[in-house]
Amino acid sequence: MIIEAKKLSKWYGQVIGVNNLTFTIKPGVTGFLGPNGAGKTTLLRLLTGQLKPSKGTICINGEKIWNNHRIMKNIGYCPEQDAFWNYLTGWDFVFSTMRMHGFSTDEAKDRTKEVLDIVDMTEFESKRIGGYSKGMRQRIKLAQAIGHDPEILFLDEPLNGMDPIGRKKIIDLVKELGTKSKIVVVSSHVLHEVEEMTDTILLINHGRLLAEGNIYEIRHLIDTHPLQVTIKCDNVNVLTAKLMEYEDVLSVQFDRELNQVTVETNQPDEFHLRIPKIAMENKIKIHSLWSPDENLEAVFDYLVR
């Protein structure tokens, strides 16, 4: 299964929503990122078949999505907005959604029961949605998105308003769905949470595609920013002196108090290969080693201006 966009554009009058996007989304979890106003909502609407492209195509397994009810049935969408029928109970809402997907009354009942259990809302299923807290509403939204067991799932800020325990549960659920060869696209502003779910991202800004793929690969391709590596160890001064001998090390930031040194290197592969050797040869005990700018936040920061 695969989602493919080819030169996809959408505009409203003169205002451009998305501009000439070409990308593919494969099974697994993909993080969908971008600043506010980047065109994420437009793209999500195009992906869920609610909008027709102005130009280009967006297809699932080769079939266009717009108005394609057969495909749309296989899509689950958990929107960010909170627009509900407040007088319905949680049960009623999810149940009617299941019925609308075409399930028989009995099957709808089973699915509703199951999915409400998955999102931990069984206790509150007979209470009206109007009385729900933000986190509870979020869970109900999620329930209606996954209840019909879709192959493709779009989650827009799914962790909004949820407490840490709920968050962990949903993150685990998303990771699980990803391993079941479903396509799960998660859009969120809390990059740390996206990192916990996946390392494949799709980043857009101003309606245009900025990056697509694995975080580490992307970082590697951002050659305007040499990679930073921080090492905490004993004998920091000795290590620093040794590291500086190599030409790929462009700058060094030495912190005697914290016992750490941060270098910038434009040849990360060579650098990382030689670290163990240097440490062993000079009898330096390394406590920790990491790249402060090889994470989603840094990538986002470098790419989005």
Partner 1 sequence: MSVVLENFTIKYGQIVAVDKITTTFHHGSTGLLGPNGAGKSSLIKGLLGLVPISRGSGKIMNKNVATEKKAIRQIIGYMPEDDCLIPGLTGVGLVQYAGELCGMSKEDAMQRAHEVLYLVGLGEARYRKVETYSSGMKQRIKLAQAIVHDPKLLFLDEPTSGMDPKGRQEMLDLIQNIATRGKMSIVLASHILVDVDRTCSRIVIMDKGRIVEQGDIENLRGRFSGTYSIRVEGDREKFIESLKKSGCSVKPDGKHLLDVTLPRGMDTDLVLEIAHKSSVQLRRLMPGVQTLEDVFIKKIGAE
Which of 266, 285, 70 is CA-nearest to residue 275? Answer: 285
Which of 24, 21, 26, 23 is CA-nearest to residue 7? Answer: 21
Among 27, 31, 34, 226, binds partner 1 (CB under 8 A): 34
Contact between 202 and partner 1 (CB under 8 A)? no
Q: How many CB atoms lie within 10 A of CB 112?
A: 25
Q: Which is nearer to partner 1, 241 or 289 (CB)?
A: 289
Contact between 123 and partner 1 (CB under 8 A)? no
Contact between 15 and partner 1 (CB under 8 A)? no
d(CA 91, CA 99): 12
Contact between 287 and partner 1 (CB under 8 A)? yes
- The DSSP letter of residue 216 is H
Contact between 280 and partner 1 (CB under 8 A)? yes
Structure-token pair, residue 91: 């049960």
Phi, psi of 265 (to 5 degrees): -130, 140
d(CA 139, CA 69): 25
> Of the ranges 56-64, 120-128, 241-249, 296-304, which one interacts with partner 1 (CB under 8 A)?
296-304
Q: List Cβ neighbours of 117 (8 Å cut-off, separation of 6 or more).
A: none
Contact between 304 and partner 1 (CB under 8 A)? yes
Among 11, 216, 254, 302, binds partner 1 (CB under 8 A): 216
Q: Which residues of 175-213 are buried (b: 16+ CB within 10 A; e: fewer)?
A: eebbeeebbbbbbbeebebbeebbbbbbbbbebebbbbe
Q: Which is nearer to partner 1, 70 or 165 (CB)?
A: 165
Structure-token pair, residue 172: 């685990």
> Of the ranges 10-18, 93-101, 119-127, 129-137, which one interacts with partner 1 (CB under 8 A)?
129-137
If binding means CB under 8 A, how many residues of this protein chain bind partner 1? 45
Smallest separation (angstroms) from partner 1 to the CB of 249: 15
Contact between 276 and partner 1 (CB under 8 A)? yes
- Contacts (CB under 8 A) with partner 1, residues 39-98: none
Report whether 269 contacts 291 (CB < 8 A): no
Report whether 231 contacts 279 (CB < 8 A): no
Q: At CA 4, angle to CA 304 and CA 216, rounded to 5?
A: 45
Contact between 238 and partner 1 (CB under 8 A)? no
Among 16, 64, 289, 302, binds partner 1 (CB under 8 A): 289
Among 146, 162, 183, 186, binds partner 1 (CB under 8 A): 162
Contact between 163 and partner 1 (CB under 8 A)? yes
Report whether 183 contacts 3 (CB < 8 A): yes
Among 14, 36, 81, 224, binds partner 1 (CB under 8 A): 36
Among 37, 102, 130, 131, binds partner 1 (CB under 8 A): 37
> Of the ranges 110-118, 121-129, 146-154, 293-301, which one interacts with partner 1 (CB under 8 A)?
293-301
- Where do contacts with partner 1 occur on this chain (CB under 8 A)? 33-37, 133, 135-136, 160-168, 189-192, 199, 216, 268-269, 271-273, 275-277, 279-280, 285-291, 294, 297, 300-301, 304
